[in-house]
Amino acid sequence: MSAVTSPVARTWAALTTGRGRTALGFAVAALALFVVAPATLSDFRLNLLAKFLCLAMVAVGIGLAWGQGGMLTLGQGVFFGLGGYAMAMHLKLADAGPGGVPDFMLLYGDGVVPGWWEPFRSPVFTLVMVVALPVLVATLLGLAVFTRRVRGAYFAILSQVLAAAFAILLVGQQKVTGGTNGLNGFRSFFGYDLNDPVNKRMLYFIAAGVLLAMVLLVRALMRSRFGELLVAVRDQENRVRFLGYDPAIVKVVAYAVAAAFAGIGGALFVPIVGIISPADVGVVPSIGFLVGVAIGGRATLLGPVLGAIGVAWAQTTLSESFPSAWTYAQGALFIVVVAFLPGGIASLGHLWRRRRGRPDAHQTASPAPQVGLDPGATGAVVDPRPTGPRDPATVGRTS
């Protein structure tokens, strides 16, 4: 006769499974963002956290493209900047009023708004471009690169060069981009006064909600057929091609999703921080995005978010006390994680469970096998032919 399990024990058993831990982590994150942080942080610190959430949006996309797809994206600053500058252009035109000219164009230019600026007076057009521009650029670049089977270090260098070129272009076009000063001095956000603390809090809640929605979307992608294909392309690209799939299309989709996340993060960054400049979109910020993801754990769902927020928070906090030493501390932290904890801080739970002799969720689960792809966490391509013992009478025959 089996022992009766109490409801508490059943609930605890459900929470300790892989799906239960994800749901529990998401619930804790929502509680921390929507309840604890607004109740305990000052307006200044809450606005800083909102800024970090925008950076975490970029990290979520990098976790999908790099952690699941193996694409070392060193140029996410480009897509962050495209979304940020699109939003900044609209805010400057809205502050100038109908038919008005942004203040920096009167100072640096001839006082005439360029024709390609005019559509950004529309809020709807701006919101569409915040996503469409990064996705378009990522799709074109991905098709040009991945169809030629460029990957690894070559793709990383190419994406980093793109970020450097984009920053140089912004600096050189001072009359229409503000040059090194960028675009700043925004007074309103879709009709809401940015100097009002209530509206500042509203922006924080928007950023928190968007970030959680991105995490849910990535989780759905990771658990879908596309997620299995993406991991399979990372591990065995040639065998995926042999099975009839186009690895380039799979990579382009993941790269475009990551670009869309970066563009949305950049668009929310602008009203929260109050400025967007070439210093926010160049090579150094792009590497900074990657460092946070690596420290947090690129192959996990919440690792990139926690890593990006933690690194940004530490940079702000430590730089207040040790302005010149933070860069060295960040580099040392990155070296330590790569050398001794390659799975990132998020892998500490996995190591702790192994030390206690408890199997992971993917080791205990046994989903139904699928032809062509390994249903496990690795997603490696498998041979769909049977591997069991054969009838001795059939040995030596061919079909």
pLDDT category of residue 396 using cuts at 50, 70 and 90: very low
CA angle 376, 380, 386 (to 5 degrees): 85
Residue type, 317: T
How is residue 17 written in tokens? 């499974």
pLDDT of residue 13: 55
CA angle 45, 304, 306 (to 5 degrees): 35
Q: Give the C-alpha separation, 300 to 323, whole Å.
A: 32
N- to C-terminal Cα distance for the chain?
A: 51
pLDDT of residue 126: 96
Highest mean pLDDT among 235-249, 263-277, 323-337: 263-277
**Least confident stretch, 199-208, 252-261, 262-271, 304-313:** 304-313
How is residue 198 written in tokens? 């209530």
> What integer is the mean pLDDT of 272-276?
94
pLDDT tens-digit readout, 22-64? 778 788 889 999 999 999 999 999 999 999 999 999 999 999 9
pLDDT exceeds cutoff 70 at 7: no
pLDDT tens-digit readout, 283-320? 888 988 988 898 888 888 888 998 899 888 888 887 77
Give the residue among 103, 84, 74 at the shortest CA–CA distance from 163.
74
Residue type, 310: G
Residue type, 113: V
pLDDT exceeds cutoff 90 at 18: no
| Of 254 and 369, more confident | 254
pLDDT of residue 319: 74
| Of 371 and 89, more confident | 89
pLDDT tens-digit readout, 26-35? 888 899 999 9
User: Are 91 and 269 within 8 A, CB to CB?
Assistant: no
pLDDT of residue 380: 44
How many other C-beta atoms lie within 10 A of the C-beta of residue 356?
7
User: Are 65 and 258 within 8 A, CB to CB?
Assistant: yes
| Of 321 and 90, more confident | 90
Give the residue among 228, 63, 79, 227 at the shortest CA–CA distance from 141.
79
pLDDT tens-digit readout, 302-311? 889 988 998 8
pLDDT tens-digit readout, 104-120? 888 887 788 899 999 99
Write the CA distances from 185 to 124, 140, 196, 272, 326, integer angstroms. 22, 33, 15, 12, 28
pLDDT of residue 360: 52
| Of 225 and 319, more confident | 225
How is residue 390 written in tokens? 């054969």
pLDDT of residue 357: 62
DSSP conformation class of 276: E
Q: Give the C-alpha separation, 63 to 217, whole Å.
A: 12
Number of H helices, E strands in the chain: 18, 4
Identify the sign of the CA torsion 145, 150, 156, 157.
Answer: negative
> What integer is the mean pLDDT of 369-390?
42
Strands 192-193 and 183-184: unpaired
Alpha helix segments (H runs only) across 97-246 = 103-108, 123-146, 153-172, 174-177, 197-222, 225-235, 237-242
Which H or E element spans position 188? strand 188-189
User: Are 121 and 87 within 8 A, CB to CB?
Assistant: no
pLDDT of residue 244: 87
pLDDT of residue 288: 87
User: Are 261 and 300 within 8 A, CB to CB?
Assistant: no
Q: Give the C-alpha separation, 225 to 22, whole Å.
A: 19
Q: Give the C-alpha separation, 386 to 377, whole Å.
A: 21
β-partners of residue 193 are 188
